[in-house]
Structure 1
Amino acid sequence: MEFGLADLEQLVAQALLPLFRIASVLMTMPMIGTQLVPVRIRLGLALAMTAVLFPVLPVVPEYDGLSGQVWVLIAEQIVIGTVIGFTLHILMETFAVGGQLIANQMGLGFASMTDPANGTSVVVLGQFYLMMVMLLFLAMDGHLVIFEILAMSFEVLPIGDALPLSNLYRIALAGGWLFSAGMLMALPAITSLLVVNFAFGIMTKAAPQLNIFAIGFPFTMVLGIFIVWASLTGFGSQYAGFAEAVLELIGNVIREAGRGG
């Protein structure tokens, strides 16, 4: 069996196209795709995953390495990988939005810090929720599910099939789900704090001589912290529901794109 330089070049060229899709997922997904993980480590993980998946992937057609079609295929793989990684951010940012809403209601909207992963300023409560979500994501093997979806994408959406624009539009519409899910998560705490604010308003109307603002702000803050602590008992099941919805969205987009192709 002869294996020449031309065969080696073709093998490398066929492995590069799956590498672009896998690397795009690792560069954009939460935790692995953050600034805390060096680019070299992410690239090494992408090369390792490509080496593991390449023998079981569908046969990649042969293309001329200098043709414009190859550049189009590379762009398509980057888009598909970015869509998978970006959709995961929707899950994480849902809890950041919910934490922002709760913090504003309890008077902690000014207590913000820099998120070391994304380099943005978020409220402390939102960062607390983000840390819990990331730990739960790893504890529930969410990263393994994403890698399974990534491997499945090569079966239902092989290299050469483009992701339809309708599927990209569906991902864009998922941004509305982000805010609705964040509001759903924060609704119990917001409702409880709203009742407390109504009670202070009634007290202010009934006894104007009382300095309600002096005790209302710290009382609302302490009560908000207690409500957040009490709501942690059902946080796991709430996260599991949101994670299932997001992972199902990713799977459905890939499957529908494969059927459409």
Structure 2
Amino acid sequence: MLELSDSQIGGWVSSFVLPLFRIAAFLMTMPIIGTQLVPTRVRLYLSLAIAMVLVPTLPAMPQVEAISLGSLLLVAEQIIIGALMGFILQLFFHAFVVAGQIISMQMGLGFASMVDPTNGVSVPVLGQFYLMLVTLLFLAMNGHLVVFEVLAESFVTLPVGGGLLVDHHWEVAGKLGWVMGAGLLLALPAITALLVVNLAFGVMTRAAPQLNIFSIGFPLTLALGLVIVWIGLADILAQYQVLASDALQLLRELVRAK
């Protein structure tokens, strides 16, 4: 009969299960993989596969008892770190969603909404378009590989049992306000152009009161808004590169990676 000591069980728990919790928490919260489009079972299998590859290369883990308060605290620590990493990536993706929603409201396309299959909520179709666009750009430029590299490096720079640096993480959290600013910056050219269009309609109404501005203004604003969005897509790659660099740098600062 095979007998296992508490130290052996604790060693297995600390060497495999603790890194697994950080990896699983990250995959459950990150964009693309952590959405409803990917079944939970698939995410769990992917977490196990990544853990099996990374565990042999990781530094020594602290020895803990299998069932104790210390092990539970370490598990909670790993879940918090993984969830924070996934949350930063979610904010990066939703900056483009916010930009699409702002532009939709300004051009009168806010009523055209669809159910977002990734989150299960109803969003303007233009925001969904920007979300699919940034997803394709993220995958085409191997952003997912960079993210997995940062995840693997986090076990060295922020080892299991090293504790959470509250001051450091609060400093990183203070930089998360760039998301709303990034969304506004993406939508600013379209908002400015649509403001000029609305001012022109106001001048037309003042000069020719007999014109029914409501019957001609709405379709023209919608059509010109689509043209403005089409023109703005020519510069979307440069804007994506800047925001992606900021998001990945913030992710590295979170785990103190170089």
CA contact (8 A) 1:30 1:88 kept: yes
Q: How does 1:139-218 map to 2 (within 5 A)?
A: 139-218=140-219
RMSD in angstroms over aligned alpha carbons? 1.7
Mapped to 2, the partners of 1:236 and 1:61 lie a distance apart of 44
Distance 1:37 1:147 in 2: 17
The equivalent residue for 2:9 is: 9
Q: Residue 114 of structure 2: SS of its match in structure 1?
A: strand
Taking structure 1 as the reference length, what is the TM-score of the superposition? 0.93
CA contact (8 A) 1:58 1:155 kept: yes
Mapped pair 1:21 → 2:36: no
Partner residue, 2:76: 75
Partner of 2:234: 233
Amino acid at match of 1:40: R
Cα distance change on mapping 1:170 and 1:122 into 2, 3 Å: farther
3-state SS of paired residue (2:90): helix
SS at 1:32 equivalent = coil
Structure 1 residues 93-133: Cα deviation after superposition (integer angstroms, max 9, x where no partner): 00000001100110011111110111111100000000011
> Shift of residue 240 of structure 1?
1.1
Q: TM-score, normalised by structure 2?
A: 0.94
Moved over 6 A (4+): none
Query: Matched residues, percent identical?
Result: 55
Q: Alpha carbons of 1:8 and 1:63: their partners in 2 closer, same or farther (altered >3 Å)? A: closer
Match of 2:59 in 1: 58
Q: How many pairs are equivalent? A: 255
Gap runs ≥5 in structure 1: none
Deviations 1:45-93 (A, max 9, x none): 1001001000110100211112211110000000000000000001110
SS for the counterpart of 2:203 is helix
> In structure 2, the residue corresponding to 1:64 is in which secondary structure?
coil
In structure 1, what residue type is equivalent to 2:141?
M
| CA-to-aligned-CA distance 1:120-167 (integer Å, 9 cap, x gap) | 111000000000111111111111111000011000110111222234
Q: Secondary structure at the match of 1:255?
A: coil
State whether residues 93 and 131 of structure 2, in contact with CA within 8 Å, keep that contact through their aligned partners in structure 1.
yes
CA distance in 1, matches of 2:127, 2:206: 34
Counterparts of 1:32 and 1:154, CA distance in 2:
21
Unaligned runs of 5+ in 2: none
CA distance in 2, matches of 1:143, 1:5: 39
Asked if structure 1 preserves the Cα contact closer than 8 Å seen for 2:18 and 2:78, the reply is yes
